[in-house]
Every structure is written in C-alpha cells, then in structure tokens.
Structure 1
Amino acid sequence: MIRRIGEAVKPGQRYGLRPGVYAVLLQGDQILTTFQANPVPEYQLPGGGIDRGEQPIAALHREVMEETGWRISVTRRLGAFRRFCYMPDYDRWAEKLCTIYLARPVRPICPPTEAGHSAVWLPTDEALARLGNAGDRAFLAQALHQPR
C-alpha cells in the first residue's frame, strides 16, 4: 500500500489518477528545487506527470530539464506517496501518485523552458521548511538520512 501524505480525500470528490516522477537533487548541503510562481508561489521538487506511453525515468529527465534546465543522473528510487489535490493548471482534481528518485545534478544546459518555473538552489535545512508539500519534505528528510 502506498501511503497518503497531505490533505485528506474530500468525501464525494472524484479524483483522476495522475502518475508522476520527482527528483531529490542534492549537491553537498544544497538541493536544486524549482520555484513555481503561479498559481500559488512555492518551491517544489523538480518533476511532474508521466505522459501516456512515456517511461518513468525518461519522464523524470524531461521534467527536470523543463523545470530547471539541468541534466541529471538518476541514482535510485526512494519511494512513493499519494497526494489528493486540485490541479489549477489542468482544472481537475487528482490523485497524484508521486514516485521520488534520488538523483545527482550533472550540469545546467539552459534556462527552464516551462513557463513560470525557475531553478533555485536552497540549503537543505531551508528546503525542509519551504518545500510546498508534505510529501516533498518527507522524502527530502529521508534522503538526507541515507547514504548517497
């Protein structure tokens, strides 16, 4: 069973399944995050939805590049959680099945190509307080307590 992290399921609300992949990108005592300006400004682990027919690791590379402009090297899968939320960009309620990977930032290639996103390095202790959802914070904490 994959644990739910975050807000409770709203009774009577229909949720569409949205599988996604996200990366904890550590370098020393810093983490590469994406800052999304709209609809609510927040720091996030880079990543996002897996497109139909796309493999998860390919989706992770694509999403991190779109949101940060960085190439990455995937180390290992950390785990997964479910998050029930409204996605204003898509005007839909979603059960987000979030799979989190530990990865290494290799090099910046270009500015983020996804509108409203910027790549931001944060000290890990600051990121633990500022990441926008409880699942991201929980998996960052887990990654910090494991060998890299």
Structure 2
Amino acid sequence: MRRYGEPRLPGKSYRARPGVYAILPRGGQVLLTYQAGIHHEFQLPGGGIDPGESPVTALHREVFEETGWRIAKPRLLGAFRRFVFMPEYDLWAEKICHIYQAHPVRKLAEPPEEDHSVHWASPEQAAISLGNPGDRAFLQSLF
C-alpha cells in the first residue's frame, strides 16, 4: 500500500487507525470540510472506523458529522497509509485511509461536529487546498 507524507519515525510506537474519506463531486465542484481547532486545514470529509462498524457505515456517519450532508452510491477508489501524530488523541497513528467517491445528495443540517465547516471548491482549487498529499493524489487521479 502506498504511503504519503512522513515516514515512520524510529522509536515511536504507532497504532493502526483505519478510516474512510469521501471525494464528493457535485455540479463541477467538490465538497470539502475545513477543520479548525487543532488542525486548521481543508480535508476530505471522513474519519475513523469505530470497532464493529463497516467501512461504508462509517463513511455515511463521518460525512454527516463533518458536513451535515447525506451521501449515496459510495464507490471505493483505493487506499493509502500515512504516519501522523494525532494530538486530539495523544496518539501516534498509522492511518490507513480508504478513499471513496460518493454523491452528496442532500444537506440535512449544519455540521454536527464542532470546529468543522463545509466548503465547495473546483477540483483544481480543492487539490491545492487539501492538507495531505494522499487526499490530493486521489482527487487529482479522479479529475
């Protein structure tokens, strides 16, 4: 599996953290989430898969929590890994990022998750804005 970002740091113990993330095109634009607080970056909507949860169920839950949107027809595009420190969990993580394409169907609410806001961008602007190179690579390969 391809790695993006920094390599594993010697002497650090990493915990595997599988997650799901969505590329959500609509009307020539892509839906992104901006996470303020600790990260201050644009991201593909998504996050960790809870124990016992299926990836697709996690994708629907995470997209709604971060954007307030419901999605349809998720299709797995691929996966990559990255090694990061997650300050919100005080955790060195090996994030295993599964990337899906899905259709944003309907906005039901403002993002329920604190410090998240929704932004629409052209695919070109989204690729420039995304905070991690793995997300950018999958977005660019799709468009």
Q: Determine the C-alpha separation between the residues in 1 that align with 2:141 and 2:60.
A: 22
* Alpha-carbon shift at residue 27 of structure 1 (Å): 1.1
Q: Determine the C-alpha separation between the residues in 2 that align with 1:39 and 1:114.
A: 14
User: What CA RMSD, in Å, does the superposition of the two structures yield over aligned residues?
Assistant: 0.8
Any unmatched runs of 5+ in structure 2?
none
Q: Determine the C-alpha separation between the residues in 2 that align with 1:4 and 1:24.
A: 19
Q: TM (normalized to structure 2)?
A: 0.97
CA offsets per residue over residues 52-98 of structure 1, 9 Å max, x none? 00010000000000000000013411000001000011110000000
Q: Determine the C-alpha separation between the residues in 2 that align with 1:38 and 1:122.
A: 21
Query: Identity across aligned pairs (percent)?
Result: 58
Give the match for residue 32 of structure 2.
33
Tell whether 2:99 aligns with 1:96: no
Q: Determine the C-alpha separation between the residues in 2 that align with 1:112 and 1:33.
A: 12
Partner SS for 1:83:
strand
**Corresponding pairs, count:** 143
The 5 A counterparts of 1:1-148 are 2-144=1-143
Any unmatched runs of 5+ in structure 1?
none
Q: Determine the C-alpha separation between the residues in 2 that align with 1:55 and 1:75.
A: 13
Q: TM (normalized to structure 1)?
A: 0.94
